Each structure stands twice: as C-alpha cells, then as structure tokens.
A and B are shown apart, each in its own frame.
Chain A
Amino acid sequence: MQRARRSPADRAFRPEGRGLRSLSIATVAAMALALGLVFFYAPLDAEQGFLQKIFYVHVPLAIVALSGFVVAALMAIAHLRTRDARWDMRSYVAIHMSLIFAVATLLTGSIWAKGSWGHWWVWNEPTLVSFLIVFLLYATYQPLRFSIEDPERQARYASVFAITAGAFVPMNFIAVRLSTAYLHPRVLGSTSNLPAKMAFTFAVSLLAMALLYATLCKYELTAKNARAQLRALRRLADRRAGVGEAAQAAAPRRRSAAPSLHAPATMTARAAGRPGA
C-alpha cells in the first residue's frame, strides 16, 4: 500500500510529540544525577552550611526562567515575521512555563533569604528584586490575551508584548543591579569563583533544570496539538454528517487566553483527498 503523500494540512498537525519519550528519560536521568551530586558530592559551604544547597535549585531555576522569557521573545519575533500560529503557540507555552519557574525562583529565594538572614524578603539581593518585577510584568500576559477576542489579533498583541517584555528583562536587571549594588554587596552568593566540585554540581543542576523545562514545554505543546487535531476532525465529521454552520456556531467556544491551532474544516477535507464539504 502506498504511503499517502503529506499535504500542508498534515504538516501543520504533525505530532509535536516526536522525541518526547527520549527527552523525558534524559530529564529524569539528569535530575537523578544532579540530586545525587548535590547531596553526596558537593562540599558543605563554610558559612551557610546545608542551607546553601538551595543555591543548586534557586539559581538554575532563575537562569532557565530568564532564558525562557528571552527565547519566548525570539519565538514571538518569528511569529510576527512569518504569521505562523505555531510560533505563537510555542511562545505562549514558553512564557507560561517560565512564569511557573519564576514563581519557583521567588519561593526558593525567599526560603534561602529566611534561612540566611531571618527575613522572608530582602531588598538587597538584586536578582530576587528583578525577578519580582519581571514576574509582575509577565503576570499580565494571560489577562492581556484573555481580553482580546479576535484570535489573530490576540496572537499578534501577545507577540508584541512578549518581545517588549523579553527586551525589558535584561534592561531591568541592569537597572536594579545598579540601584542595589550601590548600597550593599550581594548576599545570596554568586556563581563566579566556585570551587571545582561545586561548579560541576552546579553545571549538572543547570542542565537538569533546562531539560526539565524543555520536557514540560514539549508536553504542553503536544497536548495542545492533539486537542487541535481532535477539534478539526470533529468539525470535519460534523460537516460530513450535514450539521449546518448555524448549529456549529450555536455551540460557542468559551473565550480563551490560550492560542489554539485552527484550520477550517475544508483544509482537512482537502488533505483527505475528497472534495471540500
């Protein structure tokens, strides 16, 4: 039996889940290794003792979250240039995930601050402060999307936001660093001048965190893709069964902040090689 030729519609819905299993396995392996290193290999810090080990979680979280925001901005640029909705989808997922990682950064940072200084929040740690501002900015991403009904405009405005915010992140860090380093030295530790064992542990932790981020993003993208394909098939089936446009429209979809891959039913019909419904 001949393999069916792939049409544009097929390509649009290519399962993004390819490689998901290998990625997940790699992530679990890296995290296991990182945990092992953190608890049994890395030496105890002279000043802060066991608490310092939060560093191996907090800083990788921070770096991955920030990189995620910047990558999302790049994807948004791709979306604006190509007008391909898939870039918007990827940008949305990247921001979504980075926001979660950012919250985790704030929480671990807070715990570390409480342990080291006795306060749940410190203003003289510029990274933490910058994160708070960045979090507050990106927290408006979802409400912004939700308040625009036209899906194409929603995606476009979201991309403009993602690019602005992505450019803002480094500028904000510099500005905050300027304003705090002026008064107090960094308190929660830096990544430079680490002894070899710590540096190695840190590197592995960073890798594990990055893999975790990539895997979670891929899961979400795959799920969204599958859902979009299901919807398209359902619409095609409706058209076949003769359910009119009016009836389809009568089941209005709830307003959503999440982008959805859309392909009018005719596209899939053509892909199936039959005359459009």
Chain B
Amino acid sequence: MRRTVGALLRKELLVELRTLESVPGMSLFAVTTFVVFHFALNRDSVSGDLAAGVLWVTLLFASILGVNRLFVADADQGGFDSFLLAPVDRSALLIAKALALLAYLLVLELVAVPAFALLLLGPSLGQALPGLLAVLLLGDLGVAIIGTLVAALAVRTRARDLLGPLLALPLFVPIVIGGARASSPLLALAHPGDPAARWLITLALYDLLFGLITYGLFDFLLED
C-alpha cells in the first residue's frame, strides 16, 4: 500500500512539476485577490476577525483552482483505467491525490501567508505564526480530503469546472467557521491570543469524519 501510494504520489508531483498547472496559478490568484480585497474593503490593513476572514476566503477560493485540476489528467488520458487494472487497493489513489493536494496547499500558503502579512495584515505575525500554521494545517487537511472527493465526483461530468466549486463551497463552510474563528485571536491587533480549543477540535473532528466518509465512498466514483 505504501509503495503504491508512493508511486502514485511521485507521478502526481512529476506531472505537476512538468506542467505547473496548479500551484503557480493558485499562488498568483491568492496574491491578486489580496490586492482586490484592498480595493474592495477600502483598507490599508486588516486585523482580527476581518483579517481571518480575508485570509480564509482567499485560501479557499485559491484551493478550488487546484481542486478543479486534480483529476483532469487522469480522466482525459485514461489514468483511471490503467489504475483500475492494477492489483492494488483503490484507496491508494485517494490517499495519493489527497496528499498531493495537501502539498499544493502548503506551497500555496508558503506564498500566500507572507504576501498577506506584507500587503494587508496590520499586526506582525511573529508570535502568532506557529499557532496560525497549526490552524492552517488542520484546515488544509479538511480541504484536501473534501477537495479530493469533490474533484473525483465532478471530473467526469459535463460541467466539471462549475460543479466542483458549487459542491465544494457548502462543504467547506464548517472549515471556514473553525478556521476563521481559530485564526481571529491570532491576528488581533493588541496582544495576540490563542485560538479557542473548541475550534481546533471542530476542525479536527470534521477532518476525521470526512476522511472516513471519503474513504468509504471513493471506490464507487472510480468505476466506469
């Protein structure tokens, strides 16, 4: 199983490195969105609730770009068939894709969070950074799992680019709730506080539950 996931993950990252279809687009989108927010909100800097909101909305919408591209190569080039013919556990594809998407999200944040700190964030990140990274990681896990499920669902339909976001966004709402609420005290102007435990638990539980659901349902999406 580990070998299969490794082989698939290697293929994913190779293809992404060669085509650069997802990650640069997602990162550029995030930075541009921050600029748009500056004009839309008519502010030079944001903090607290507003900062958390701008950051999470931007990350979510950028991640949807990645979700849309996740299975396209496989659907168009017969990747599903060649995988289904192999004597391996089908969940390996789910794990490999979710890990790949997680990797793209982490790289996205490597660009987006500093850009955010530079362009829009009022208070400095220094102290709050570890806490923020933890919250982002928990949120990313959820986005990766839900994103993989939704991508597999949407890719072999006629309106794949439209259905992906429409399906994903409501499912992302609890992640936004947990993530934004948890980040908000971290990005506060005066004394950055700690995220309330309840939001971290909410995120972790949601990730876990969706992980189980996706694991159980994924096989049914792979069949022809």
Question: Could you list which residues of chain A lie within 8 angstroms of chain B, going by C-beta atoms?
Answer: 80, 133-134, 136-137, 140, 143-144, 147-149, 153, 156-157, 159-161, 163-164, 167-168, 171-172, 175-176, 178-179
Contact = CB atoms under 8 A, between A and B. Distances in A.
Contacts of B166: 140, 143
A137 B171 contact: yes
Nearest to B178: A175
19 contacts: A80-B220, A134-B170, A137-B167, A137-B171, A140-B163, A140-B167, A144-B163, A147-B163, A153-B156, A153-B223, A156-B223, A157-B157, A160-B220, A161-B153, A164-B217, A171-B206, A175-B174, A175-B177, A178-B177
Q: Is the interface of A mostly helix, strand, loop or mixed?
A: helix
B202 A175 contact: yes
Contacts of B221: 156-157, 160
Contacts of A137: 167, 170-171
Contacts of B198: 178
B220 A159 contact: yes
Contacts, number: 74
Nearest to A176: B177
Contact of B174 (A144, A148, A172): A172
Interface residues of B, number: 28
B209 interface: yes
Contacts of A161: 153, 167
A147 B153 CA distance: 11
B1 interface: no
Interface in B166-189: 166-167, 169-171, 173-174, 177-178, 181
A148 B159 CA distance: 9
Given A133-B173, A164-B213, A172-B174, A143 B220 contact: no
Contacts of A144: 153, 157, 163, 167
Nearest to B150: A164
B149 interface: yes
Which of B149, B198, B213, B224 has the most chain A CB within a 10 Å cutoff?
B213
A156 B220 contact: yes
A161 B220 CA distance: 11
A153 B220 CA distance: 9
A167 B209 contact: yes
Nearest to B221: A160
Contacts of A167: 209, 213
A147 B157 contact: yes
A147 B157 CA distance: 5
Contacts of B174: 171-172, 175-176
Contacts of A136: 169-170
A163 B171 CA distance: 13
B197 to A, nearest CB: 12
A149 B158 CA distance: 9
